[in-house]
């Protein structure tokens, strides 16, 4: 059975019919699947994944130059979220919206006591999204920490980055295009807060000047 490597770098075996369909989709440009046979008797090449910053499994040299090195993705500038080109900017925008909504929905949520059900492991329910986690593995606590961290990192300037996913050697991602999706919320908040403080200070100064002018007036007695 052919062994293929998918777009996430997972190796799996498929039947001949499935492989031919996948290969045809890739060759015709209809699919972003990185479907390729991993041979044992032909020249192979490991590529550097510019997103994960790791090497891939050995890939057929022919497919490397024909497909993998041409593969384009759109990445969120704040995390590892990637999507295919086309509506990539819109997909990253949806990812940003969902991430910030998750962050807002989980504010003030605390780790709840485990729920014991006969015949099952104790579990904990997240009050922010309703997901269930195994208490033994601290799943709920890790979930809340992850949502909090993602929410904070996505408060900054966010761009949808068009880039090539693979290179022949370790390197930083080569960004071909950057579309601004969100300005830096934290910096904007600081600027707004600073402007409000300055405005209040100006008002206080004006009030002091008016009081001083009033106290310095000379009253003429007839």
pTM for this predicted structure: 0.63
Element (H, E) at 182: strand 175-182
Please say whether the beta carbons of 82 and 74 come within 8 A. yes
Q: List per-block mean pLDDT (blocks of 10 residues) for the chain, which spans 222 residues.
A: 62 74 67 51 82 89 84 93 80 94 94 83 91 88 94 94 90 89 69 53 67 58 48
Q: Measured between alpha carbons, how far is 222 from 217 in angstroms, rounded to an integer?
A: 16
Please say whether the beta carbons of 128 and 138 come within 8 A. no
Write down the pLDDT at residue 168. 87
């Amino acid at each position: 059975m052919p062994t293929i490597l998918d777009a996430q770098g997972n190796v799996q075996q498929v039947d001949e019919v499935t492989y031919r369909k996948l290969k045809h989709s890739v060759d015709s440009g209809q699919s972003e699947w990185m479907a390729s046979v991993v041979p044992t008797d032909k020249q192979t090449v490991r590529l550097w994944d510019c997103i994960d910053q790791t090497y891939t499994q050995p890939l057929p040299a022919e497919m490397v130059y024909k497909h993998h090195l041409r593969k384009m993705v759109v990445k969120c500038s704040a995390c590892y979220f990637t999507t295919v080109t086309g509506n990539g900017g819109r997909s990253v925008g949806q990812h940003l919206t969902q991430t910030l909504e998750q962050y807002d929905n989980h504010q003030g949520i605390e780790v709840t006591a485990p729920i014991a059900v006969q015949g099952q492991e104790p579990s904990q329910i997240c009050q922010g999204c309703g997901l269930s986690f195994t208490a033994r593995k601290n799943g709920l606590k890790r979930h809340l920490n992850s949502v909090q961290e993602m929410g904070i990192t996505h408060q900054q300037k966010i761009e949808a980055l068009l880039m090539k996913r693979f290179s022949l050697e370790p390197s930083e991602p080569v960004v071909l295009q950057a579309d601004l999706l969100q300005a830096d919320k934290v910096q904007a908040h600081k600027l707004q807060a600073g402007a409000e403080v300055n405005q209040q200070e100006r008002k206080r100064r004006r009030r002091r000047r008016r009081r001083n002018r009033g106290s310095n007036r000379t009253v003429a007695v007839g």
